[in-house]
Structure 1
């Protein structure tokens, strides 16, 4: 029996470089293709006439919002103290209170809230999606659905992505409101703020134009949808030998990169 020929070092080097690039490109193309399918099917009225799809949408939406609500409130409270209160403190110390709204709009509204809400969705709902889809793939239920003439995309992926997008916007608004309230109350108790809450809101809204609020909403919706897409692809592309201990770290890294990339690209595009 002939001995196996050793693999040349240059080929191993090329494989080590090209392998991650190829897998990353496959993930990007799969995400874009699935996103195009969600937009096409989601905007078609006939897609939502099926009771099973509407039921799955309600279940996913309830799980995403209720599951992330407590974490959003706690995180927003900490951010309200750490960002809003410190902003009020140092601008008051420097005598630049007029720039409070501009700084909060740039830091809290545009960057911090969408990213943190996306991470909360990834940790609370994205992991559930990975485990459920991975179990569905490992149990052969996808093949059963296809054999019955049912579309797994329409029954599983579409409602989950739409629910996560809506949950991202809802939790983002709650996050922003709680952070502002916490920051104001902390500033009021420490005598940094002497005016009514209306002044802080007017300062913030005066420094934030319509485009900023539109960017805020778009970021939340896009990030929520991306979390669902990445987690769905990770779960449905798993093998039978892979367990949640293999899938969850992979989904977390992919989801984190998707959140940061989407936030950065949308900020640059709106600049």
Structure 2
């Protein structure tokens, strides 16, 4: 009886530790997200060093991820847009192709793929840079000098990657549609001009899509950047790069998936 009781207590302790860890991470994310928004509204926080951090991160994220976004968008356009138009045309459901492209490609696929590109190109870079400062105790030195790492690094990087996510999301969507159109035009599946095709596709958007699509891009970029930055700052005494990088990647991926699922359920 004592062994059974000890076993149950151990299992309950394990569940409690996991629950506390999940709740702690969730509360930290929510409070940090609120902090970024509030601090960004204060003009006095945008000192020269903060502005430089914002612009350097924006250039790195947008410029560094542009080629990957174009290539991925072209491949997705060939694999998804062209195939959707082709097979729905064969099935006699060509009228439903535009609505399906908007729903699957622009609303669901594009935010996730763009966020993954940003996570690999910029999120992991921020994780490595801030993690190195934290592991090397430079963050403590900055705090001792009266410099807040949250205002200096987290806020400008999160906002920069948020803007970059929206920009690359638009580039990805346009590239996917253009490459899908080019394939269909080459195969003589469609004969309308490019501008007519784009007009028909955007015309299939519902009013809610004009809110849901930009919001998915913005919130996905915001959450993945915030999660990687917080992972870099929340380093334990036994952490090193071999544990920090996988932890940051998993937290970024989890943030992307949770945000897209939650917004997908919210907007239907």
TM band (smaller chain)? over 0.9
**In structure 2, distance between residues paired with 1:137 and 1:266:** 33
How far did residue 91 of structure 1 move?
1.2
Match of 1:225 in 2: 222
Contact between 2:135 and 2:240, CA under 8 Å: does it hold in 1?
no
Residue 189 of structure 2 is aligned to residue 203 of structure 1 = no
How far did residue 240 of structure 1 move?
4.5
Residues 212-221 or 162-171, more deviating: 212-221
Aligned length: 264
How far did residue 237 of structure 1 move?
0.8
**In structure 1, distance between residues paired with 2:79 and 2:135:** 44
Instruction: Give the match's secondary structure for 2:208.
Output: helix
Residue 114 of structure 2 is aligned to residue 81 of structure 1 = no
**In structure 2, distance between residues paired with 1:76 and 1:20:** 38
The root-mean-square deviation of aligned C-alpha atoms, in Å, is 1.4
Structure 2 stretches of 5 or more lacking a match?
Answer: none
After TM superposition, the structure 1 = structure 2 runs for residues 72-151 of structure 1, keeping only pairs within 5 Å, are 72-151=69-148
**In structure 1, distance between residues paired with 2:21 and 2:131:** 19
Match of 1:57 among 54, 57, 60: 54
Structure 1 stretches of 5 or more lacking a match?
Answer: 1-6
How far did residue 11 of structure 1 move?
2.7
Residues 258-267 or 172-181, more deviating: 258-267
**In structure 1, distance between residues paired with 2:120 and 2:93:** 38
**In structure 2, distance between residues paired with 1:240 and 1:73:** 41
TM-score normalised by structure 1 residue count: 0.93
